[in-house]
Amino acid sequence: MKSPGDVKSIILFIVIAVAFTVVTGIMLSKKRKTYKKLHQRYLLHLLRLIVITMCLAEILAVMNPNMDIRRMFLQGSALLVAIVGFAAQPAISDIVCGFLISIHKPFDIGDRIVIEGQEPGIVEDITLRHIVIRIYDDLRIIVPNSELNGKILTNTSYGMPDRRGIHLQYSVSYDTDVQKAMDIIRDCVVESPYTLSVENNGIVEDSGPVYFLKFAESALLLDTTIWVTKNTNSYTAITDINLRVNNAFRENGIEIPYNYVNVVEYEGSKEEIDERTASEKKKTLPSKRYHRTNTVKIPASAAHAGEAIKVAERYALRQRLDENSKMQLEIMCEEALGVVGAIVENVKTDFWIEGSGLKYRIHVRFDASVGSDEYKKLLNLSSTGKNEAIQGFSGKIWEVMTTGLSKKENYEWSMNEGGVNQKDLGESILTSMASDIKVSIDRERVEFIVVKSAKG
């Protein structure tokens, strides 16, 4: 029978172990951004293991005072040491290799890496045993630390905290005008809304160079590297540029080499033909697939509303919207640009639409960094404390924007939030047609977003 003091000691060590596990779990949570460095996350996992092991050892010592834990570990039988050592060899190897990785840091959390024999992906986490890598469609690859430590690794984000690189390769036939093909690839990279500019020999360029590096067996290989922000989905950017390059090659008569196969066409049975007909009918329904238009620079004024409508027409065609939905989209695009123009007249905006045929978002974004003309216009209050020139719904949105700019951190506002009285917004075409209206503000940009859902 243990004394009350021994029971208290056991409870105390259990509480310490559980509390430390919970605290480190919170610190390692994805919602917290404090511990996002590779070595920090690994050391927290290691510290958790050490504390739990020490608590268990102390509990065993309290339960059996005659058992010397330290002597048992130091003077254990050779057979026991051999058995434990052999069984724990992979785990120990993973822990040691994880420690070496966290110290030398060949990559960090958020880096895009390519491991020999694996899909490229984003480093999401490190534990004592393995690395977690996120690939397309949010699938995860779990790579043991010991295996990773012995493989060749390419880090396309090394030393660059705000961007990551993606290598692309294209093949063209031997009779291709190579310089023309290189220019087309580079133009497609520039046109993509996901890519960033690069600095080369002190000169800022709109894209990186395209290289002609190899004569393959039946093709010429052209290589380039694109750069995207760390928040951009790499596979989305790759798909967007590949589609552009494929279409541009076709339009310019550039052949992509492939093996030729003679095919005998089989029309199929009546059941198969009926099935194909039904499938084709389904294609007339609104698309459920995500699409984003190009980002277009449009001044926020009624004179340039036609440019926004053209973007809406292309989106409606791509997402198979019916005439009524297409008309609503065009009206909302025109109105969204008009609201921003009423607040900051003729401001240069980034305009795009993204979403599916069932739910989409219209984005109107403009610069509002401190000291800019737009920033001064937004905060240019009259002596009464209100901008008397802006009335109705636009005036309410202006108040939201000025409130957001006065904050020291990023600001988000939604028409559908619980604290928003929609009657105070006044009557407008946008409030009657849109499912939601949002304003997003950081320290440099203001973004006006109109959300439309098929259900509202």
- Structure confidence by residue, pLDDT tens digits, 145-156: 888 877 888 888
Report the pLDDT value the prediction gives residue 382, as an integer from 0 to 100.
38
Residue 107 above 60 pLDDT? yes
Report domain extents, the chain.
4-155, 163-251, 291-453
Task: Annotate 45-84 with b (16+ C-beta within 10 A) or e (fewer).
Answer: bbebeebbeebeebbebbeeeeeeeeeeeeeeeeeeeeee
Helices (H), 28-129: 38-63, 69-74, 78-87, 89-104
Mean pLDDT of 178-207: 88
Flag the least confident range among 72-76, 150-154, 376-380, 401-405: 72-76
Give me 289's structure tokens. Answer: 């697939």
Pick the residue with more confidence: 319 or 42?
319
Q: Is 80 exceeded by the pLDDT of residue 31?
A: no
Contact 225, 219 (CB under 8 A): no
Q: Is the pLDDT assigned to residue 188 strictly greater than 90?
A: yes
> Counting Cβ atoms within 10 Å, is residue 201 exposed (0-12), middle (13-18) or buried (19+)?
exposed
In this prediction, residues 32-61 reach a mean pLDDT of 73
CATH topology of domain 291-453: Heat Shock Protein 90 (3.30.565)
CB 315 within 8 A of CB 291: yes
Mean pLDDT of 207-212: 90
Cβ proximity of 438 and 358 under 8 Å: no
Rounded to an integer, the average pLDDT of 344-368 is 90
- pLDDT for 223: 94
Q: For residue 302, give the amino acid letter.
A: A
Distance CA 144, CA 93 (A): 9
Chain position carrying tokens 């640009």: 337
Return the structure tokens found at 452. Answer: 């439309």
* DSSP code at position 300: S
- Across residues 387-401, what is the average pLDDT? 73
Residue 209 backbone phi and psi in degrees, to 5: -70, 160
**263 band by pLDDT with thresholds 50, 70 and 90:** low
**Mean pLDDT within 74-82:** 52
- Phi/psi of residue 127, each to 5°? -120, -175
N- to C-terminal Cα separation, the chain: 69
Q: Which CATH class is domain 163-251?
A: alpha beta
Q: Is the pLDDT of residue 381 over 50?
A: no
pLDDT of residue 361: 94
What is the average pLDDT value for the chain, to the nearest integer? 80
Mean pLDDT of 273-300: 76
> Does 297 have pLDDT greater than 70?
yes
**Which two three-digit tokens encode residue 13?**
């060590």
122-135 pLDDT tens trace:
888 888 888 888 88
Question: How confident is the model at residue 43, as a pLDDT?
Answer: 76
Separation CA 323–CA 417 (nearest Å): 31
The pLDDT of residue 383 is 36
Q: Give the highest mean pLDDT range of 10-19, 272-281, 383-392.
A: 10-19
59-73, 151-165, 191-205: segment of lowest average pLDDT: 59-73
- Give the mean pLDDT of 62-79: 59
- What is the per-residue pLDDT for 384? 41
Among 148, 49, 40, which Cα is nearest to 103's? 40
Instruction: Assess contact for 245 and 185: CB atoms under 8 A.
Output: yes
| For the chain, percent of residues with pLDDT exceeding 90 | 23
Confidence of residue 250 (pLDDT cuts 50, 70, 90): very high
Cβ–Cβ < 8 Å for 218, 251: no
